[in-house]
Amino acid sequence: MSKVMIIINPSSGKEKAAKILPNAKKALGGMFDQVIVRETEGEGDATKFANEACTERFDAVISMGGDGTVNEVVNGLGEQEHRPIFGIVPLGTVNDFARSLGIPLNPIEAIEIIKDRQIKESDIGKINDHYFMNVLAVGGIAEATYNVSVEQKTRLGSMAYIIEGAKAIIKKNPFPLTVEHDQGRWLGEAHLLIATMTNSVGGFEQLAPEAKVNDGKLHTFIIKDLSLPLVVKIIPSLMRGEIKGHDEVEYIQTSKLHLSTSEELAVNIDGDEGFLLPLQANVLHKHLRLFVPGAK
């Protein structure tokens, strides 16, 4: 008997999740013999449910929520012996992972994608015993995202992150950083480090236009200066996907990173506060199977 688990975050998408759920159940009911719904109530629930789906050998797991819900599901799938096929119905503010896979941001259209049964393998990253699917960031701008409230995200969308980031730029404080990677080591002062596994970060789909979800790489940008005049110059380069060629940006492609600093800094993992540095990050190549639009 084939079975699928829907993990739904009722607070995502301006609380549209409950309205979309009947469409998902109907569509998935035509694909699987059994459709089980698990509704999250708090942090960690989606991870617990996804882990349950692995243990009970479900055929597929569908996340209905934002990037936070997706991240929790990825942590539940992790390095389990049995990993169900992963489907995403995006209901969040930014939905970076869905964007990078070409999944429509319209949830009804995303459900239709799952019905096509097209599968793609995707990398995930690992730090200690924690998994991520999109981005790591270190620095004041990364920390500023913690100040974005649910109300701000609902009202302003991705602009809420830009506003808080702008506040951090005004206070700009560089920090000493050592980055060990496949090709060697970088040492210096930085304002921001971003290591992304996809081409979409914070809704910007041109930060690393060459990044693929299964290329086995962390596309790493070290921003050495964030003075206001430089920011004015960098933004057009960012929009064109040309930031890696800027004089004040170091660009590294690597399958692993070791980050260390003499200051007390925590890494931002897929938008949430993570571990204090030092840390080791690795790419688990083509680790998950996902429902995507067409064969890519």
Q: What is the DSSP string of 191-225?
A: SEEEEESSS-BTTBTTSSTT--TTSS-EEEEEE--
Per DSSP, the three-state class of 283 is strand
Q: What are the structure tokens assigned to 227, written together?
A: 């003075």
Give residue 28's pLDDT: 96
Band of pLDDT at residue 163, cut at 50, 70 and 90: very low
Q: Give the range among 10-14, 57-61, 212-216, 269-273 with minimum mean pLDDT.
A: 10-14
Per-residue pLDDT, 244: 62
Please give the pLDDT value at position 258: 97
* Mean pLDDT, rounded, for 4-30: 87
**Mean pLDDT over all residues of the chain?**
84
pLDDT at residue 156 tops 60: no
Q: Which of 41-45, 155-159, 236-240 has the highest mean pLDDT?
A: 41-45
Structural fold of domain 3-117: Rossmann fold (3.40.50)
**pTM for the complete prediction?**
0.83
Task: Give the rounded percent of residues in the chain with a pLDDT score beyond 70.
Answer: 78
**DSSP summary character for residue 31:** T
Statement: residue 296 has pLDDT above 50: no
- Inform me whether the pLDDT recorded for 90 exceeds 80: yes
DSSP 145: G
Topology at the third CATH level for domain 135-285: Tumour Suppressor Smad4 (2.60.200)
* Res 21: pLDDT: 92
Q: Residue 14's pLDDT band (boundaries 50, 70, 90)?
A: low
Give pLDDT, residue 232.
Answer: 57
Which residue ranges make up each domain of the chain?
Answer: 3-117, 135-285
